[in-house]
């Protein structure tokens, strides 16, 4: 007993693990798992769990030593302390990779863990649920093996238990099962999980709410019908209040849930807008930074993408200035890329939408990110796409004119195109275009004869008297001011 207790104590310190491994401690612990003294068995299992938890190499060593079948076979006949230790070993092995999780499944570990969910002791249930979650999170096949063993109804029952730790782990495991496929999410929903989860959204325990909103997000993301089931559980607008929760991960997971709901249809987006969810998310973006902002940024893009009216709702809720802050403040390129994408979704609908983006001075910023060689490939692509989609609707010429000087040819043609559409119908804009130097700049553009860009330039020139165009073209290298006659 003294030996195994000493080994267990040593495994608790990471610096000792390599020494123990080199000393062959794994093969020494294996026979102790069959010892007649229960406390020796439990302590040996605890030591093995700590070793396996340390690295995937040690977890593989546990599998190669054929310890798992021995562990699983003795689970049914042992006391609660041993069962908790055994579940810990299975979790420590399974967490590292799908292959190691499959080794746990192959030796009957999932079925043994599901039996532990039926135990009276909440500590045993918690240990078993935790191990099942680590198995399920890797992929759909492993998650299906957990479902096939009958774990889901028992996990839903665990949500009703009074112990807070058990509730948290059960919600987390249901989230891990639901995330892979619509079929797995439907299996969770069919056992009544949504109603149980909905009841806990206003629980004061922050760690529980994190897992509850995570599970609801994983269910909602797969399909319209699943998202509608979550909405029908009347989670909103009560969940919106959780965006003011002190716990930052509760706030992030609530925002993620809204993102997964709104992405499906305009009607679901409208539900979230009507309950104040979108305005609350915009406020939330102003109170957080980094990856905590990401689900909110993408949510605004999803809402705006559905329709002109929803995009206008984002504008009226002051979403554009907030996205502009995210674009300029965040150093991470993937967050900038998401911000650029959402800005593009807002501005692509009508000239009014594009004007809201343009007046926030976002067109030069998008151009800068597109042309910056240090920008990631994804950031460059999303900046270019957003810029083009907004430019194609933008008729606010003061915002377009600076791009005449800085944009590369593939962007410049869209800028010039917009001038060619607006100038023929706006005499004031034509006068300003000459006095600001815009017409002179257009003469400097070198376009291929017959190209769309050349056609746009010709259309612009045709808006002005021929002598003004000739004079501007002849003197475009000088800075001499040009008096514009009223006939322009």
CA angle 21, 135, 180 (to 5 degrees): 145
CA angle 401, 433, 464 (to 5 degrees): 135
Instruction: Look at residue 48 in the predicted model and tell me its pLDDT.
Output: 77
Instruction: Look at residue 73 in the predicted model and tell me its pLDDT.
Output: 81
From CA 477, how far away is CA 9, in angstroms rounded?
82
Q: What's the farthest any 2 CA atoms get from each other in the chain?
A: 107
Centre a 10 Å sphere on the Cβ of residue 331 and count the other Cβ atoms it contains.
Answer: 8
1-149, CATH topology level: 1.25.10
Task: Report CA 166 to chain centroid distance, whole Å.
Answer: 27
3-state secondary structure labels for all residues of 132-199: HHHHHCCCHHHHHHHHHCCHHHHHHHHCCCCCHHHHHHHHHHHHHHHCCCHHHHHHHHHCCHHHHHHH
Instruction: Look at residue 458 in the predicted model and tell me its pLDDT.
Output: 87
In this prediction the pTM is: 0.85
Instruction: Look at residue 304 in the predicted model and tell me its pLDDT.
Output: 96
From CA 463, how far away is CA 433, in angstroms rounded?
11
Cβ neighbours of residue 405 under 8 Å, at least 6 residues apart? 441
Instruction: Look at residue 340 in the predicted model and tell me its pLDDT.
Output: 96
| Residue with token string 């409208």 | 270
DSSP-assigned letter for residue 464: S
Instruction: Look at residue 34 in the predicted model and tell me its pLDDT.
Output: 63
What is the CATH number assigned to the segment(s) 234-394? 1.25.10.10
21-24: which pairs have CB atoms within 8 A and are 24 or more residues apart? 21/51, 21/58, 21/61
Domain segments of the chain: what residues?
A: 1-149, 234-394, 396-474
Residue 166 near residue 158 (C-beta atoms within 8 A): yes
Residue 433 near residue 410 (C-beta atoms within 8 A): no
How do the pLDDT tens digits run along the chain, 488 residues long? 666 666 666 666 776 667 666 666 666 776 666 666 767 777 877 777 777 777 778 888 788 888 888 888 877 777 788 888 888 889 999 999 999 999 999 999 999 999 999 988 999 999 999 999 999 999 999 999 999 999 999 999 999 999 999 999 999 999 999 999 999 999 999 999 999 999 999 899 999 999 999 999 999 999 999 999 999 998 988 889 999 999 999 999 999 999 999 999 999 999 999 999 999 999 999 988 999 999 999 999 999 999 999 999 999 999 999 999 999 999 999 999 999 999 999 999 999 999 999 999 999 999 999 999 999 999 999 999 999 999 999 988 888 888 888 888 888 888 888 888 888 888 888 888 888 888 788 888 887 888 888 888 888 888 888 878 777 766 554 544 444 443 44
DSSP-derived secondary structure for 253-271: HHHHHHHHHHTT-HHHHHH
From CA 367, how far away is CA 124, in angstroms rounded?
58
Instruction: Look at residue 15 in the predicted model and tell me its pLDDT.
Output: 64
Tell me whether the CATH fold assigned to 1-149 matches the one assigned to 234-394. Answer: yes
Nearest to 292 by CA among 328, 333, 248, 339: 248
CA distances from 303 to 296, 311, 359, 395, 480 (A): 11, 7, 21, 24, 49
């Amino acid at each position: 007993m003294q030996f195994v207790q000493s080994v267990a104590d040593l495994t608790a310190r990471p610096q000792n693990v390599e020494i123990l491994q080199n000393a062959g401690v794994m093969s020494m612990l294996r026979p102790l798992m069959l010892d007649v003294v229960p406390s020796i068995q439990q302590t040996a299992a605890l030591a093995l769990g700590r070793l396996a938890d340390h690295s995937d190499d040690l977890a593989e060593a546990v599998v190669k030593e054929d310890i798992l079948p021995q562990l699983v076979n003795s689970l049914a006949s042992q006391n609660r302390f041993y069962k908790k230790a055994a579940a810990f070993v299975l979790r420590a092995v399974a967490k590292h990779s799908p292959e190691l999780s499959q080794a746990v499944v192959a030796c009957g570990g999932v079925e043994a863990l599901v039996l532990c969910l039926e135990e009276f002791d909440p500590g045993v249930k918690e240990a078993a649920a935790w191990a099942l979650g680590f198995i399920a999170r890797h992929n759909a096949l492993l998650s299906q093996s957990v479902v096939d063993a009958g774990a889901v109804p028992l996990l839903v029952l665990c949500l009703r238990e009074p112990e807070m730790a058990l509730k948290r782990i059960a919600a987390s495991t249901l989230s891990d099962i639901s995330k892979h496929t619509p079929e797995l999410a439907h299996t969770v929903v069919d056992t009544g999980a949504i109603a149980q989860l909905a009841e806990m959204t206003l629980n004061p325990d922050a760690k529980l709410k994190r897992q509850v909103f995570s599970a609801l997000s994983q269910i909602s993301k797969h399909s319209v019908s699943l998202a509608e089931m979550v909405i029908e559980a009347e989670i909103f607008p009560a969940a919106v209040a959780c965006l003011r929760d002190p716990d930052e991960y509760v706030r992030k997971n609530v925002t993620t849930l809204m993102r997964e709901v709104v992405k499906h249809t305009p009607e679901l987006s409208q539900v979230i807008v009507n309950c104040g969810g979108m305005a609350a998310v915009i406020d939330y973006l102003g109170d957080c930074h980094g990856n905590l902002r990401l689900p909110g940024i993408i949510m605004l893009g999803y809402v705006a993408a559905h329709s002109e009216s929803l995009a206008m709702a984002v504008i009226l809720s002051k979403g554009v200035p907030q996205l502009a802050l995210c674009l300029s403040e965040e150093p991470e390129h993937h967050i900038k890329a998401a911000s650029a994408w959402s800005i593009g979704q807002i501005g692509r609908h009508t000239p009014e939408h594009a004007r809201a983006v343009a007046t926030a001075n976002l067109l030069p910023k998008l151009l800068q990110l597109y042309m910056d060689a240090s920008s990631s490939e994804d950031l460059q692509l999303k900046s270019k796409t957003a810029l083009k989609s907004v430019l194609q609707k933008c008729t606010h010429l003061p915002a377009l004119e600076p791009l005449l000087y800085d944009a590369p040819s593939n962007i410049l043609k869209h800028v010039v195109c917009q001038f060619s559409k607006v100038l023929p119908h706006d005499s004031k804009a034509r006068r300003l275009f000459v006095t600001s130097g815009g017409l002179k700049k257009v003469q400097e553009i070198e376009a291929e004869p017959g190209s769309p860009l050349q056609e746009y330039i010709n259309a612009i020139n045709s808006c002005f008297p021929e002598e003004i165009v000739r004079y501007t073209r002849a003197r475009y290298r000088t800075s001499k001011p040009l008096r514009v006659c009223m006939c322009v």
